[in-house]
Amino acid sequence: MIDQLDRKIVRWCCAAIVCAFSTCAIAADSTTLPAATTLRAAAGDRLLIGTAIMASHLREPAHARLLAGQFNAITGGNEFKPDALQKINGKFTFERADEIVSFARENRMQVIGHTLVWHNQSPKWLYEDAAGKPLARETALENMRRHITTVVTHFKGKVKGWDVVNEAISDGGNDYLRDTPARRAIGDDYVEKAFEFARNADPDVELYYNDYNIELPGKREKCVRLLRELKAKGLRVDAVGIQGHWQLKHPAAQVIEDAIRAFAAEGVKVHVTELDIDVLPRTRQGAEITDTEKEGANPYVAGLPADIAGAQGDRYRSLFEVFVKFPGVVTRITFWGSHDGNTWLNDWPVRGRTNHPLLWDRQLQPKPAFDGVIDVLNKPSGG
């Protein structure tokens, strides 16, 4: 709202200056006005533009200024995950997540909670006994209920929405849900139970289902099935989060557009929740890597060549051209990080590489990727 206001004030001032110099013969139209120079100003109030951060970034002054200046939404990269909030049964640790909430409040940013139920970064005791066997259904359900209720209640009025369940859908062929500790203990209805517990804890908070590769046909159909099943149980899902860990050429923009349309047809909003464009070869993990793969696996240690940086800028531009085709449907786009020095892709799927997937380089300088995004957001038709 205020960003929109800021832009309007700039426009009025510009219009006044133009009038003064042209004796008001012509009124300034939007095409002659200066473009916004920050993502949040360019997005105005039609779109949340977010980033994932770590609480420690807030103690890096230049970085914190960039975050506050550019984004109007923020996700804790790790701080809101179950192992961060309740590593030990019954002992909740909210300090680092609370720091992020305070920073967001000071800088007029929305906070997105990530995540309540996930098979990674969750303490084992939630769904398994000490020997690794699934807990009895009632015990696991009670653990899940207590985690969700306590966490959602703590952040009531501070978090706009929660990734209630992350990555529940199976990648493989005909399997529907992924085999996870929560599912083994509780059963297939663990997903609906999570949505029920979250809604009961705070009827006003938005509830999201978040996953990767759900833009691809196959997993997309499974996600549509999940949305329908939740709806049939009387549960509310406000948005589907497509993670958006993408590459320079894959998946095609058309595939992403088709998926947005398919999810929108189910009556939910669509968020792009963890956007980054990997420029390194998607080398297979750990022991499976061959020597040949290793040699070619880390080619841009000295910096990203201009042609690849340009191609990445074009890629971001074409993705945002798709997103802005869906005003009111695609209502948030969150990058998974801010500058290339702090991306998880420096350590995934191989540790210790030099990746360049984001909008700013390691010196916090904007890349062609930034230009690609802001150009689209600045277009009058952009959303």
Site residues for ligand XIL per CB under 6 A: 77-78, 166, 243, 274, 344
Q: Give yes or no: 167 in active site.
A: yes
Smallest distance, ligand XIL to C-beta of residue 344, A: 4
Q: Identify which of residues 78 and 150 has a Cβ nearer to ligand XIL in the complex.
A: 78
Q: Identify which of residues 84 and 135 has a Cβ nearer to ligand XIL in the complex.
A: 84
Catalytic residue among 79, 196, 215, 274: 274
Q: Which ranges of 107-216 does DSSP label H, i.e. alpha helix?
A: 137-154, 181-186, 190-201
With H, G, I as helix, E, B as strand and everything else as coil, classify residue 237: coil
Q: Which two tokens stand for residue 382?
A: 């952009």
Smallest distance, ligand XIL to C-beta of residue 244, A: 10
Q: Identify which of residues 122 and 243 has a Cβ nearer to ligand XIL in the complex.
A: 243
Q: Identify which of residues 3 and 276 has a Cβ nearer to ligand XIL in the complex.
A: 276
Smallest distance, ligand XIL to C-beta of residue 245, A: 6
Distance CA 317, CA 355 (A): 20
By Cβ distance, which residue is nearest to ligand XIL? 344
Q: In this structure, are residues 101 and 58 in contact, taking their beta carbons and an 8 Å threshold?
A: no
Q: Which two tokens stand for residue 56?
A: 């420690």
Across 351-372, b (16+ Cβ under 10 Å) vs e yields eebbbbbbbbbeeeebbbbbeb
Distance CA 327, CA 200 (A): 30
Distance CA 337, CA 71 (A): 11
Smallest distance, ligand XIL to C-beta of residue 78, A: 5
Q: Give yes or no: 274 in active site.
A: yes
Smallest distance, ligand XIL to C-beta of residue 97, A: 14
Distance CA 81, CA 86 (A): 9
Catalytic residue among 79, 167, 206, 215: 167
Smallest distance, ligand XIL to C-beta of residue 164, A: 13
Please give the backbone phi and psi of residue 113, each rounded to the nearest 5 degrees, phi first: -90, 125
Q: Which residues contact 151 (CB under 8 A, 6 or more apart)?
A: 80, 85, 86, 92, 113, 116
Distance CA 202, CA 197 (A): 9
Distance CA 263, CA 231 (A): 13
Find the angle CA(4)-CA(10)-CA(15) to the nearest 5 degrees.
120
Q: Identify which of residues 241 and 382 has a Cβ nearer to ligand XIL in the complex.
A: 241
Q: Identify which of residues 143 and 210 has a Cβ nearer to ligand XIL in the complex.
A: 210
Centroid of chain to Cα 299: 27
Give the active site residues: 167, 274
